[in-house]
């Protein structure tokens, strides 16, 4: 075989590979790249999910917008949250027993969790991925995941005395209690640190008073109020659209989380104006975006415009 003929055969064999590699991704391939749902469980009043989303399409400023949505078998909207991911970067959201919005209650199985791709105007484009489950609050349910399967990231603790159980912090106790020295898995703490959300069985977490429970409180995260607020901010999550702006009165550290114990990821110069997306539970920190990176700065050294600090949503 001559060298020229060999080169021709190599090029002819390479052409089909090049044609295939240049073809656009199929919807199924695109869905697998953009989002993956590891687990989804739901009750009549709350849901738990472990989902990872990656930014694929540049909708605006290098971010890909999308929507989390939960509906029941009757088509009722139980939960909806718009967010975004930096193009080319994936981030995980994991939450247990997050209540549905505005006190919504599921009335029929199955319960469906969806990730929906949005355009620049937040209009739904297509459903990227769907997971369906059934709640045991309805007869003959067969859920794919049980809440107990989602507790690997919990913290073990013990009741220090006979402990009453509560459906939420600062509410009347349930007609249930646990004996002293009972081992429990805790998932969250309340903002004021006086309560812990624990698993004792069933489809939902319950709460115990800090006075009745021994656990490593520093290892517990605050109970999130949104799905994308369920993890420490990693610098690539934009929770919706900015609700205010902040002018820095000093050069400030940008941190991964709302506190000086979180890693510093940079500095923002004096007089810089940045968009604000929410606040910490104690209002001491605000979540902002600076040059494409999301992080936290102290609220004590900024001038806030657009929305008062106490009216910003708690996102961490």
Confidence class for position 261, pLDDT limits 50, 70, 90: confident
Domain at 242-311: CATH architecture: Roll (2.30)
Return the closest-CA partner of residue 287 out of 222, 248, 242.
242
The pLDDT, as a whole number, for residue 20 is 38
Can 148-222 and 242-311 be said to share one CATH topology? Answer: yes
The pLDDT, as a whole number, for residue 15 is 43
The Cα 280–Cα 303 span in angstroms is 16
The pLDDT, as a whole number, for residue 108 is 94
Judge whether residue 240 has pLDDT over 90.
no
Of residues 181 and 149, the one with the higher pLDDT is: 181
The Cα 130–Cα 36 span in angstroms is 9
Total residues belonging to the chain: 316
Strand partners, 217: none
Confidence class for position 311, pLDDT limits 50, 70, 90: confident
Contact 70, 78 (CB under 8 A): yes
Of residues 141 and 187, the one with the higher pLDDT is: 187
Of residues 272 and 30, the one with the higher pLDDT is: 272
The Cα 181–Cα 162 span in angstroms is 8
Longest CA–CA span in the chain (Å) reads 89
Return the closest-CA partner of residue 151 out of 39, 315, 35.
39
CB-based contacts of 205, cutoff 8 Å, min separation 6: 96, 97, 147, 187, 188, 197, 198, 199
Judge whether residue 13 has pLDDT over 50.
no
Of residues 32 and 35, the one with the higher pLDDT is: 35
Of residues 21 and 312, the one with the higher pLDDT is: 312
The pLDDT, as a whole number, for residue 1 is 53
Render 192-228 in DSSP notation, one character per residue: TSSEEEEE-SSSS-EEEEGGGEES-GGGPEEPPSSST
Determine the average pLDDT of the residues in 16-27.
Answer: 42
Q: How many CB atoms lie within 10 A of CB 226?
A: 21
Confidence class for position 239, pLDDT limits 50, 70, 90: low
Judge whether residue 233 has pLDDT over 80.
no
The pLDDT, as a whole number, for residue 230 is 65
Looking at CATH, the fold of the domain delimited by 148-222 is given as SH3 type barrels. (2.30.30)
Judge whether residue 30 has pLDDT over 80.
no
Contact 45, 70 (CB under 8 A): no
Return the closest-CA partner of residue 100 out of 120, 117, 79, 72.
79
Domain 27-147 in CATH 2.60.40.2550? The answer is yes
The pLDDT, as a whole number, for residue 281 is 85
Determine the average pLDDT of the residues in 129-140.
Answer: 89
Judge whether residue 140 has pLDDT over 60.
yes
Determine the average pLDDT of the residues in 245-264.
Answer: 88
Contact 202, 169 (CB under 8 A): no
Distances (CA, A) of 148 to 78, 95, 154, 201, 224: 22, 13, 10, 7, 19
Of residues 106 and 28, the one with the higher pLDDT is: 106
Confidence class for position 10, pLDDT limits 50, 70, 90: very low
**pTM as predicted:** 0.65
Judge whether residue 2 has pLDDT over 70.
no
Mean pLDDT over the full length of the chain? 83
Return the closest-CA partner of residue 25 out of 56, 63, 53.
56
The Cα 208–Cα 190 span in angstroms is 10
Domain ranges for the chain, please list them: 27-147, 148-222, 242-311
Of residues 262 and 251, the one with the higher pLDDT is: 251
Q: pLDDT digit string (tens) for 172-221? A: 999 888 999 999 999 999 988 899 999 988 888 999 999 999 999 888 88
Determine the average pLDDT of the residues in 43-68.
Answer: 87
Strand partners, 293: 290
Please, is 24 exposed, middle or buried when counting C-beta atoms within 10 Å of its C-beta (0-12, 13-18, 19+)? exposed
Helical H segments across the chain, by residue range: 3-22, 27-34
160: left (phi over 0), alpha (psi -120 to 50) or beta: alpha
Judge whether residue 16 has pLDDT over 50.
no
């Amino acid at each position: 075989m001559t060298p020229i003929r060999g080169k021709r055969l190599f090029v002819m064999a390479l052409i089909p590979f090049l044609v295939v590699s240049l073809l656009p991704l199929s919807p199924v391939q695109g869905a697998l790249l953009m989002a993956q749902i590891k687990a989804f469980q739901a009750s009549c009043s709350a849901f738990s999910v472990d989902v990872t989303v990656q930014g694929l399409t540049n909708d605006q400023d290098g971010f890909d917008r999308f929507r989390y949505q939960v509906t029941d078998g009757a088509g009722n909207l139980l939960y909806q949250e718009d967010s975004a991911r930096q193009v080319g970067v994936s981030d995980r959201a994991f939450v247990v027993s997050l209540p549905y919005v505005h006190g919504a209650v599921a009335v029929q199985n199955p319960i469906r969790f969806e990730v929906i791709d949005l355009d620049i105007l937040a209009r739904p484009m297509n459903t990227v991925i769907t997971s369906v489950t059934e709640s045991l609050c309805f007869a003959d349910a067969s859920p794919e995941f049980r809440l107990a399967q989602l507790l690997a990231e919990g913290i073990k603790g013990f009741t220090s005395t006979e402990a009453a159980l509560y459906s939420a912090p600062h509410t009347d106790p349930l007609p249930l209690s646990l004996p002293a020295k009972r081992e429990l898995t805790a998932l969250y703490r309340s903002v004021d640190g006086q309560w812990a959300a624990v698993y004792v069985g069933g489809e939902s977490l319950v709460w115990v008073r800090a006075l009745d429970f021994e656990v490593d409180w520093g290892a517990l995260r605050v109970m999130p109020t949104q799905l994308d607020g369920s993890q420490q901010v990693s610098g690539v999550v934009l929770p919706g659209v900015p609700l205010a702006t902040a002018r820095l009165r000093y050069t400030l550290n940008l941190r991964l989380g709302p506190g000086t114990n979180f890693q510093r990821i940079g500095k923002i110069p004096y007089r810089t104006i940045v968009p604000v997306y929410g606040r910490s539970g104690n209002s001491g920190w605000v979540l902002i975006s600076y040059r494409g990176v999301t992080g936290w700065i102290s609220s004590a050294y900024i001038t806030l415009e657009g929305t008062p600090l106490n009216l910003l949503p708690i996102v961490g």
